[in-house]
Amino acid sequence: MVTMLAYSTRLGHDRVDTRWIGEYWADRLEQMLHTCVDQRHLLPDGQTIDVRFDEFMDDDLAMVRRIYGLSGQPLTDEAVGAMDAFMAEHPRGRHGGVCYDLAQFGIDRARLGDSLAFYVDRFAVTGEQ
């Protein structure tokens, strides 16, 4: 997230303070995730879905089908065809990849892991491969 924010900040600024971005957003994200975990029980099970990034990346269309199913919305052949066409025209990695480096944002990976353990445990988040 902080990498994306730094890239977008570069569009309007000559100098980007990556350490400030890292510090601010690591703290802000931790607060947001605490709220998510603390208040998740308020959402009805039949009206919510937790989308794990790794599951979405493994089979994005299957996840979209689950989301549509939960919402009770029809997933038409036309919509599936449009998604398939988009993915064929925009394959992952066609322009290379992004190397994530938390250190450039002043973020210590071990410390971050400790501070977000409550979220990782609650949602069974898997580590990067």
> What integer pLDDT is reported at residue 126 of this predicted model?
83
Residue 127, pLDDT above cutoff 80 = no
Residue 71, pLDDT above cutoff 60 = yes
pLDDT digits (tens, 9 = 90+) for 78-104: 999 999 999 999 998 999 988 889 999
**What mean pLDDT do residues 114-126 have?**
93
> What integer pLDDT is reported at residue 128 of this predicted model?
62
> What integer pLDDT is reported at residue 108 of this predicted model?
93
SS3 readout for the chain: CHHHHHHHHHCCCCCCCHHHHHHHHHHHHHHHHHHHHHHHHHCCHHHCCCCCHHHHHHCHHHHHHHHHHHHCCCCCHHHHHHHHHHHHHCCCCECECCCCCHHHHCCCHHHHHHHCHHHHHHHCCCCCC
**What mean pLDDT do residues 25-32 have?**
96
pLDDT band at residue 129, thresholds of 50, 70 and 90? very low
Indicate the average pLDDT of the chain.
93
**What mean pLDDT do residues 35-61 have?**
92
